[in-house]
Amino acid sequence: MDTDLHHYTVEKVVKGFVYNELEEKGLFGLAGRLVIQPEYQRNYIYNDGKKDVAVIESLLKGYPIGLIYFNVVGDNLEVLDGQQRITSVGRFVTGKFAIRLDGNEQVFSSLPAEAQMKILKSELLVWHCQGAEKEITDWFQTINIAGIPLNPQEILNATYSGPFITEAKAEFSNSQNANMQKWSSYIKGDPKRQDILAEALKWVSSSQGISVDAYLAQHRKHADITSLKAYFSSVLDWIDSVFTRSPDKEMRGLEWGRLYEEYHSNSYDAAAIDADVDVLRADPAVSKPRGIYEYLLAGKEDKKLLAILLFDETTKRAAYEQQTQKAKADGMSNCPLCAIGDTANKTRIYKQSEMDADHVTAWSQGGNSDLENCQMLCITHNRAKGNR
């Protein structure tokens, strides 16, 4: 890869700056010669009123904003690294956001002339890089963009850039997509940081028993994302058909791809499921409400999924009877911890109201709340063991 260093002014780089409000990305600079967001770049994420403002404040104070890299493509240039900073400057100069200066809110056009000049004449150090596509993407994978490192999906997007990723991002990484609100109620994260796309790719590739890398390598050169969209929709449609309620907050971020693969060929009574969800969500013994959905999908057998906290009254009564009968026969306390101690309580028989139920194997270790795993302890010993 060949590199050579160039000195640009801000004025020159943001000349003819175009920002696409809908897709939230900077498009062109250098009077049209510079592509600010080539397809392997990530979305613009500096428009948070902090990072974008910090870029402008740095320029006003005369601080450098770091090295920038352009990729030379024929007669044109693409931003390889520096897209967030260039887009911030371009948006400010074209009046897209304000900063505070000496306590006053200022857009570019309302700044004093000398401050405007200071920004426009700021020098940007730019390396021009020229090399094979593979060299460029390999290199791109190894750098960290100042401030916010690339996340794994952003690296995948760069590595497998091409028509497939372009189409997939237009569908799954576009916060304007009409479906985004619905998707975000089942999938955690930020579409702009590629979290929805990452999940869609994870689901379809694991359904085919291959890695996301392998899936992207297969599809990289094709603009047709039908199979990705179809699989993603089938998972979401299935969730909607089984859980007809409007999504609970606990449903966000569940492993829906895996749940679909494991359970979608079962049939469910949606009305009964809905009623069960209500009952379980209202049950204080269910300490892990996120487990409710798989518990129901799996046929209400695996109580570990719910991390049930409490024993019911029948179980406690039965455990008390068993222990007390045996303790009386042995002449020892019916609290097994008192019985092995050396205090006056060694032979004391407690009333049930003086005892509490304890999990022999803690529920956090998968211990069930059943008779087999229940022992009654005197209140003092139960408290000493803590709420496990």
The footprint of Zn ion (CB under 5 A) covers 335, 337-338, 378, 381
Shorter beta-carbon distance to Zn ion: residue 117 or 340: 340
**Site of tokens 């730019």:** 126
Q: How far apart are CA 195 and CA 253, in angstroms?
A: 11
- Shortest distance (Å) from residue 324 CB to Zn ion: 13
CB of 315 to Zn ion, least distance (A): 19
Tell me how crowded residue 169 is: count the other CB atoms within 10 A of its CB.
22
Give least dist CB 319 to Zn ion, A: 14
Backbone angles phi, psi at 294, to 5 degrees: -75, -35
CB of 251 or CB of 378, closer to Zn ion: 378
E strand map for the chain:
2-9, 18-20, 25-29, 34-35, 68-73, 76-81, 99-101, 104-106, 123-130, 355-359, 374-378
The Cα 132–Cα 119 span in angstroms is: 35
Q: How far is the CB of 388 from Zn ion (least distance, A)?
A: 16
Q: Which is nearer to Zn ion, 276 or 356 (CB)?
A: 356
Closer to Zn ion by Cβ: residue 272 or 379 = 379
Measured from the CB atom, is 310 or 337 closer to Zn ion?
337
Separation of alpha carbons 15 and 32, rounded Å: 8
Of 14 and 378, CB closest to Zn ion: 378
Task: Select from 74, 94, 105, 132 the least CA-distant residue to 13.
Answer: 94
Smallest distance from the beta carbon of 343 to Zn ion, in angstroms?
9
Q: How far is the CB of 269 from Zn ion (least distance, A)?
A: 47
Report, in Å, the least distance between residue 312 CB and Zn ion: 22
227 versus 380: smaller Cβ distance to Zn ion: 380
Q: Whose Cβ is closer to Zn ion: residue 207's or residue 347's?
A: 347
Other CB atoms closer than 10 Å to residue 23's CB: what's the count?
17
Task: Please check whether residue 374 is in contact with residue 357, taking contact to mean a CB–CB distance below 8 angstroms.
Answer: yes
Q: How many helices (H) and strands (E) does the chain have?
A: 17, 11
Closest Cα partner for 333 from 343, 344, 320, 345? Answer: 345
Nearer to Zn ion, 47 or 323 (CB): 323
Question: In whole angstroms, how close is the CB of 338 to Zn ion at the nearest point?
Answer: 3
- Give phi and psi for 20, each to the nearest 5: -95, 105
- The least distance separating Zn ion from the CB of residue 380, rounded to whole angstroms, comes to 6
CA distances from 369 to 319, 323, 362 (A): 12, 17, 9
Tokens 């009333």, residue located? 351
Q: How far apart are CA 67 and CA 55, in angstroms?
A: 13
